[in-house]
Amino acid sequence: MPELPEVETVRRGLVKLIQNKTIKNVKVIYPKIITGDVGQFEQQLHGKSIQSIGRRGKFLLFNFDQGLTMISHLRMEGKYFVKSSLDPLEKHTHVIFEFVDGSQLRYNDVRKFGRMQLIKTQQVKEVSNLAKLGPEPLDNQFLLADFIQKLAGKKKAIKPVLLDQTVVAGLGNIYADEVLWLSKIHPLTPANKLSPAQISLLRQQIIKELTAAVAAGGTTIRSYTDAFEHSGKFQFDLHVYGRQGQPCQRCGTEIVKIRVAQRGTHFCPNCQRVTK
Ligand SMILES: [Zn+2]
User: Are 11 and 127 within one domain?
Assistant: yes
- Say if residue 273 carries a ligand binding annotation: no
User: Are 196 and 85 within one domain?
Assistant: no
Range of the domain at 188: 144-267
Cα-to-centroid distance, 206 and ligand 1 (Å): 19
Domain count, the chain: 2
User: Are 109 and 159 within one domain?
Assistant: no
User: Are 191 and 160 within one domain?
Assistant: yes
Domain edge (last residue) among 110, 131, 152: 131
Cβ-Cβ contacts under 8 Å for 57 (sequence gap 6 or more): 4, 130, 133, 136, 165, 169, 170
Check if the beta carbon of residue 189 is closer than 8 Å to that of residue 274.
Answer: yes
Provide, rounded to the nearest whole percent, the portion of the chain with pLDDT above 70.
98
Backbone angles phi, psi at 76, to 5 degrees: -75, -50
- Say if residue 55 carries a ligand binding annotation: no
- Give catalytic residue positions: 2-3, 58, 263
- pLDDT at residue 174 tops 70: yes
Q: How many CB atoms lie within 10 A of CB 136?
A: 17
Query: What does the pLDDT read at residue 137?
Result: 97
In a domain, residue 276? The reply is: no
Q: Specify the CATH number for the domain of residue 249.
A: 1.10.8.50
User: Are 95 and 150 within one domain?
Assistant: no
Give just the sign of the alpha carbon dihedral 117, 219, 4, 189: positive
In a domain, residue 254? The reply is: yes
Domain edge (last residue) among 131, 154, 174: 131
Query: What does the pLDDT read at residue 250?
Result: 97
In a domain, residue 272? The reply is: no
Mean pLDDT, residues 100-107: 97
In a domain, residue 239? The reply is: yes
- pLDDT at residue 223 tops 70: no
Neighbours of ion ligand 1 (CB under 5 A): 248, 250-251, 253, 268, 270-271
- Say if residue 154 carries a ligand binding annotation: yes
